[in-house]
Structure 1
Amino acid sequence: MSAHDVKLFGDQIAASRLESRFARVKASSLIRLAIEDLFPGRIALVSSFGADAAALLHMVSQIDKATPVIFVDTGQHFPETLAYRDELCATLGLTDVRSAAPEAQTLAQEDPEKWLFSSDPDRCCEIRKVRPLAVAMEGFDAWITGRKAFQSATRATLPLFEAEGERVKVNPLVGWTATDVLDYIREAGLPRHPLVERGFPSIGCMPCTSAVRPGEDERAGRWRGRGKTECGIHTTVLDAGADI
């Protein structure tokens, strides 16, 4: 199946056809297929450079170090995340890592004191994460995510391929367990995010991320006590022309 075939059948049908055809392909082979055959020159990896990011970034680096990698720099990341990003980029030799940042004017108008996360976390995510990524994704027909089914109840039924407007999202690690990720990172000799050993298995912006207690799911420390489980980049169609 070529990228031309994907376009012929429309987004949801395309995602379903891809799912049924490649459901048994291992993650590294699926990523190679997506980068080299399905969406050559038109796919990006979106990475948070978080707790599990090294595994997926390593797989991509083994296929093509020039694959675009998009990091949403919200301006409120942990310093450890920014340092880890730089370390991984150097270690893996990634040559096209792009930062997607919020508009300075929007921040000045809506969050000049950086407290929007407290009063309206959904809007904070919209202007700091969703809109910048929407702009950065212009020109791409597909993107690779690191989401995994075990991370939370809201991700338990994720498919390998899903439609997102005119794009297709590829979730190559959806069937992986926490042990699978740890084993891969260890066997590849990759560095771990420094916050992992301090009880942060899922790492987002500093104001909205807390350590996870024993027995909680991996994303329990995200927006704790807010009834919020996702930032929005996976719950809406990314459209740079819309008021997301």
Structure 2
Amino acid sequence: MNETRKIDRLDAAPRFTEHDAVRLNRMFRGASTREMLAGVIEGDLAGDLAVVSSFGAESAVLLHLVADVDPPVPVLFLDTGKHFAETLAYRDALVERLGLNLVVLKPDEAELAAKDESGLRWSYDPDGCCEIRKVKPLAQALARYDASLTGRKAFQSSTRANLPRFEIDTSDTQGRLKINPLIDWSADDIDAYFEANDLPRHPLVARGFPSIGCEPCTHKVAPGEDPRSGRWKGWDKTECGIHRPGEEPFL
């Protein structure tokens, strides 16, 4: 397990600005994903960074790329207490296979007891459940980093169609950089990478789950449907909250 940074920032200046995001997008225009990751990580262009991963359907691709460039990069995983058993087993298998530096984040026990004692908040207030189990623990952890890497891809949903590679995390007042290395990858690109690198698939993919989150809020998707249409089915909700609506939504 990774030890988080021991020294908190003493200055209040933004880590990055919109100008920095534009500059980085221009700098790596035309570069392959691996070239971009190597340039950012080895060139220390993003400061202290971490990967945020759900260990979901397509997570192995970004994790493999990052491990190939710099295995010690922390991989943050939100253990909500509601994951499929298959997801936890898949996580452990990938950590061992790729030599990942896993950091497990958990919700605050006192807040869970006060606001979700029954464990059923997902059934009547999914936003509130995500806030307690995902948004708050991740925000607390990311405060120690200057940048985060996500697994978002444009083809996953209409809300992710126009995202750039580099953007400023609008949920963070300190100007943290959010990097989307796979944003321009297609579903075929993802499949080809799995095959070329002999990466194991999440076992639920073959059972009709192209996008995998917490077990109570994840349903099967019919062929041809939006890959994320099985998430929070029946609710007007497409994101858990770690990617704010203002960003046109992590992971």
Q: Which amino acid aligns with 1:29?
A: E
Q: Secondary structure at the match of 1:99?
A: strand
Q: Once the two structures are superposed, what CA deviation does each residue of 1:189-232 show, in whole Å capped at 9, x if it has no partner?
A: 11100000001010000000001111211101000110100001
Structure 1 position 155, deviation (Å): 0.4
Partner Cα distance (2:212, 2:229) in 1? 11
What is the CA-CA distance between 1:93 and the residue it aligns to?
1.2
Q: Percent identity?
A: 52
In structure 1, C-alpha distance between the alignment counterparts of 2:16 and 2:210, rounded to whole Å: 36
Distance 2:90 2:58 in 1: 12
Which amino acid counterpart does residue 15 of structure 1 have in structure 2?
A: A
Segment drifting more, 130-139 vs 72-81: 130-139
Conservation of the 8 A alpha-carbon contact between 2:46 and 2:177: no
2:93 alignment partner in structure 1: 87
**Hey, what's the Cα distance between the residues in 2 that align with 1:232 and 1:113?**
22
Partner of 1:146: 151
Give the aligned partner of residue 131 of structure 1.
136
CA apart distance, 1:41: 5.7
Residue number in structure 1 paired with 2:185: 176
Partner of 1:240: none
Cα deviation code 1:144-175 (max 9, x no counterpart): 00000000000001110010131111101000
CA RMSD of aligned residues (A): 1.7
Aligned to 1:193: 202
Aligned to 1:48: 54
- Cα distance in 2 for partners of 1:235, 1:179 equals 27
Give the Cα separation in 2 of the matches to 1:160 and 1:63. 18
Alignment match, 2:27: 21
Residue-by-residue CA offset, 1:14-62 (whole Å, 9 max, x unaligned): 1111112212111111111222214466000111000000111001111
Matched, 1:202 2:205: no
- What is the deviation of 1:138? 2.1
Aligned mates of 2:39, 2:78 — CA distance in 1: 25
* Cα gap change, 1:60 to 1:83, in 2 (>3 Å): same
Amino acid of the residue matched to residue 115 of structure 2?
A: E
Structure 1 CA distance for aligned equivalents of residues 228 and 216 of structure 2: 15
Q: Which runs of 5+ in 2 are unaligned?
A: 1-12, 247-251
Structure 1 residue ranges (4+ consecutive) displaced by more than 4 angstroms after TM superposition? 7-10
CA contact (8 A) 2:46 2:146 kept: no
Q: After superposition, what is the alpha-carbon deviation per residue over 1:119-144, rounded to whole angstroms, capped at 9, x for unaligned?
A: 11111101100001011112210010
Measure, in 2, the Cα distance between the counterparts of 1:14 and 1:197. Answer: 41
Letter in 2 for 1:147: R
Aligned residue type for 1:89: V
Structure 1: tracts of 5 or more residues without a match: 1-6, 238-244
Out of 235, 239, 246, the residue aligned to residue 226 of structure 1 is 235
* TM-score, normalised with respect to structure 1: 0.90
Query: Are the equivalent residues in 2 in contact too, given 1:23–1:160 (CA < 8 A)?
Result: no
The DSSP-based 3-state class of the residue aligned with 2:77 is: strand
Q: Distance in 1 between matches of 2:238 and 2:226?
A: 11
Give the aligned residue type for 1:115: L
For normalisation by structure 2, the TM-score amounts to 0.88
Structure 1 residues 41 and 198: alpha-carbon distance in aligned structure 2, compared to 1, 3 A threshold:
same
Kept in 2: contact 1:146–1:172 (CA 8 A) = yes
**Distance (whole Å) between structure 2 residues aligned to residue 39 and residue 73 of structure 1:** 29
Match of 1:58 among 54, 64, 69: 64
Q: How does 1:99-118 map to 2 (within 5 A)?
A: 99-118=104-123
1:217 equivalent in structure 2: 226
